[in-house]
Structure 1
Amino acid sequence: MGNTVTTFTQDQLEAYQDCTFFTRKDILRIFRRYQELAPDIIPFDMTSNESSQLKIPVDIIENMPELKENPFRRQICEVFSDDSTGDMSFDDFLDMFSIFSEAAPRDIKTVYAFRIYDFDHDNSLGKEDLEKTLSALTAGELNEDEVTFVVDKVLEEVDLDDDGCLSYIEFEHVISRAPDFLNTFHIRI
């Protein structure tokens, strides 16, 4: 009876519920998934302050089954880690799963998709960002001329202010017309 392990305090669980699209049960299931990735690093008891400083290295995170085949796995890890290294605390990991959950609204998913595609972190999707995105999406099957052609066509169609890149507003406009976006921007737990 007295040997029950407490993973989180009630306050921690309530805070996680308030900041995510998950129930307590979901949060504990995601924590088990997180802890299983690196049991030698992550303890079962996360009630102490030190435990929130523990991080799982990006190499482990990006090789978990939910991300392993995603061509943007490194970008995803870097966007969701609080220090942009890709190494993730449980808070980072939970945020990632929350945004990729089916319950997350389109507008929040759009913000994160934009950040993932913004490889150079300049708050716009320039030609190089679009080329990297296209190459990742097509698994490198297009040659350089084909990539350039497609990127030029995208900019011609979507770059409303003709500045040679897509602003968040222009990107959001494109995503709002993409019916499959919500179906593809999620990870099941």
Structure 2
Amino acid sequence: MGGGSSKILDPEEVAEISAETGFFRRQDFLLIPELAINPLGDRIINEFFKGGEELNFREFMQKVARFRKPNSSGVTEYNNREAKLRFLFGMYDLDVDNRISRSELLSVLQMMVGASVTMEQINRIGERTMAEADVDGDGYITYDEFKAAVESVDIENKMSIHFLD
């Protein structure tokens, strides 16, 4: 993975590892302490398991690759800005209709801040966010509007986990 001790696995080794580890199931992810205590843990898990209840090894690695920081090992289709933005957009698009409603935004905001912020404050944040991001004023934030709203945010680094490089 970019370091001198990294080893490229051949297809047989990947198949062997996959067979040994089996499929990753949704309930397995619920047992990961960091996800269990994360207020967005369920949303993260849902994004990992779009389309089913199990992931094979390849699918798991592709999902995890989204969190890899683009660096000397390069940018891939999984860790580029677009992939990270799509993943992040999906965290807010609770009903998977390719747009974020005010209620979806408020739900995710409430998940993130919990009881530390009043509902009135969450509503104000939601109203401000909708006013700024919903360019066409239709009451929804589309992916393009979302992308424009976070244009200046360093998503590539902020949405990254340091892997051994």
Higher RCO, 1 vs 2 (CA within 8 Å, ≥6 residues apart): 2
* Counterpart selection for 1:185 from 138, 142, 159: 159
Shift of residue 113, structure 1, vs aligned partner? 0.7
Determine the C-alpha separation between the residues in 2 that align with 1:182 and 1:139. 26
Q: Which runs of 5+ in 1 are unaligned?
A: 1-21, 29-43
Is the CA contact 2:132–2:149 (under 8 Å) kept in the aligned structure 1? no
Q: Choose 132-141 or 65-74, whichever is displaced more.
A: 65-74
Code of the aligned partner of 1:142: V
Determine the C-alpha separation between the residues in 2 that align with 1:139 and 1:101. 28
Q: Which runs of 5+ in 2 are unaligned?
A: 71-78
Shift of residue 82, structure 1, vs aligned partner? 4.9
Are residues 60 and 155 of structure 1, via their aligned partners in 2, closer, same or farther at CA, if it must alter by over 3 Å? same
CA-atom RMSD in angstroms: 3.0
Shift of residue 72, structure 1, vs aligned partner? 2.0
Is the CA contact 1:79–1:115 (under 8 Å) kept in the aligned structure 2? yes
The structure whose Rg is larger is 1
Corresponding residue of 2:135: 160
Does structure 1 residue 111 correspond to structure 2 residue 86?
Answer: yes
Q: Choose 74-83 or 170-179, whichever is displaced more.
A: 74-83
Q: Residue 161 of structure 2 aligns to a residue in which SS?
A: coil
Are residues 79 and 88 of structure 1, via their aligned partners in 2, closer, same or farther at CA, if it must alter by over 3 Å? same
Are residues 170 and 129 of structure 1, via their aligned partners in 2, closer, same or farther at CA, if it must alter by over 3 Å? same
User: If the length of structure 1 is used for normalisation, what is the TM-score?
Assistant: 0.66
Count of residues paired in the alignment: 149
Deviation digits for residues 70-100 of structure 1 (CA, Å, limit 9, x no counterpart): 3222222222225244x43212210121111
* Counterpart selection for 2:126 from 133, 151, 160: 151
Corresponding residue of 1:10: none
Code of the aligned partner of 2:45: C
Question: Runs (4+) of structure 1 moved beyond 6 Å?
Answer: none
Shift of residue 102, structure 1, vs aligned partner? 0.4
